[in-house]
Amino acid sequence: MEEIINHFLTSWTPSTLPTSTSISSINPTNIPGLSATAESLRQEVATQTNSISLYFLSRNARAAAASYTILSDQQVLASATSLLNAAANTGGATPTLDVDLAQITQELFNSTLLLKKLEWEANLYAIHISVPFNLLFAILFSILLLVNFYLGLIRGKTRYFATCMLCGCGLEIAGYVARTIGHFHWSNTNIFLCQIICLTIAPAFVMAGVYYLLTQLIIIHGGGRRFSILRPSYISWIFICCDVISLFIQAAGGITAAVKLRLFENTQSGTYIMVGGIAFQVVSMTLYLALLFNFLYHIYFKSIGLKFSFGTLWHLLLNTKRGHKIRIDYNYDSHYDPSFQRIRQRPLFNYLPLAIIMASLFVYVRCIYRVIELSEGWRGYLITHEAYILTLDALMVFLSCVTFLPFHPVIVFGKDVHISIRESFGKVNMDLPPVAISEKEHSFSNDDQSSDTLQEKYMYGQSKSSDRVSSTPTLGNNGGQKYHNPYLSPTRFANYKSSSSKYV
């Protein structure tokens, strides 16, 4: 044991001194076990040649040496204290002790710091994990999971969106529960891997639900590729595949870093691979945001020939009074697919584009943070300061999910609506019979429009010509003047089939 102490303890001095510390104490009954451990280490060190095994043996030997020193000094101090107490009780002269109290104090102090250092090196997180905040996010995501379960699977029929959100919230719960447990078991590799894997994968499921909502918007407004660069059925698959590729790259980087770490080699290559995977996710999300804003440009500006303006876009997204007036003045709804007019007239529908933008930007910020965090390494500034993890990761994903509580598709579209994205012109299924389209809802801005003209507008297809002779005197000075109706386009209702005789 003395050889182990001389080799592993006396050669070590603390690089930094704490402002205060509590001197460690060890139960004397542990001496036999500690001696057996020391003898086992002595024998294994003599025969072991693997450098990795020798490293861990060295750590164990240093811990055993520090513990043995503390036990020895405790016994010396206990013996000296007993002699002093005995002399005081008998009234005899104070005995002279051959004990260097300064040296013993220094040995106890150094041994305590060494044990603390070895313990901290075993902390996989390199931080003191906050139990209250991690438990708080676990509870918040549990609430979101229950709400999404009710809205998506019990009240409505948005099973795909509900499944995505349930998977995302479930993984977030598992991640933050694991982090909470990791506070008490910070050297447990299984708990560490559980939290990092779950929190890395979870946002991909949340974004899968957001991709789905964009396809719904494209179908409801234009049916096919009229307002979008890509077909609605392609959008979800393309960007979900990008997220999956990103996760595989991150997994490959994580495996590489783990192997390098076990071989005590530089883990930088594995970390760079992980950074590349997250960077790929940032690039794919950037393309998605570009597609989203391109779609908004088409439905808000290009479709009606309106010049682009950030102010106008802002009013349309927020549905201000000015935005509402713009929609009426330019008769926006007349340029969209009439099959889904009932959905577009719902109170919260016009807020859905803003909700999608906000949710996407929240996850986008989180991904950018992850790139910067991992580029600093596993002991970098960001990853070792939990405030950044809680605000730029946990809070961002939470806000992305909570955005769809008031703007859940069951609330925005209606609980009896299911829109298929299998075809470029989506199909809408409703349990309730379709509501008749009233003449008031589709009347021209001219209040004198006759019922014959309304029939011309909705019964197109009986004649090959879109120019009909109007008998309405107010359309011109001559009763026989031709009237051209811009709504009577040969493809206007080509894909519109009425399923009820209530339609005109």
For the chain, the domains span 2-121, 131-300+337-429, 448-504
Place of tokens 């009425």: 498
Q: What is the pLDDT of residue 424?
A: 39
Question: Dihedral angle at the C-alpha atoms of 127, 129, 130, 134, nearest 10 degrees?
Answer: 130
pLDDT tens readout for residues 306-331: 899 999 999 999 999 999 999 999 99
> What ranges make up the beta strands (E) of 36-181?
none
Q: What is the pLDDT of residue 224?
A: 59
Q: What pairing do the DSSP bridges indicate for beta strands 467-469 and 428-430? A: unpaired
Task: Report which DSSP code applies to 445.
Answer: S
DSSP string of 345-394, one letter each residue: TSTTGGGHHHHHHHHHHHHHHHHHHHHHHHHT-TTSTTTT-HHHHIIIII
Please, are residues 201 and 245 in contact by the beta-carbon 8 Å criterion? no
Please, are residues 430 and 417 in contact by the beta-carbon 8 Å criterion? yes
Q: Using CA atoms, how far apart are residues 251 and 267, in angstroms rounded to an integer?
A: 14
Q: What is the pLDDT of residue 400?
A: 97
The yes or no reply on domain 131-300+337-429 and CATH 3.10.290 is no
Q: What is the pLDDT of residue 225?
A: 64
Which residues in the chain come in under a pLDDT of 70? 1-21, 23, 50-52, 92-99, 223-225, 261-265, 417-504
Cβ neighbours around 287 below 10 Å, total: 12
Q: What is the pLDDT of residue 361?
A: 96
pTM of this prediction? 0.73
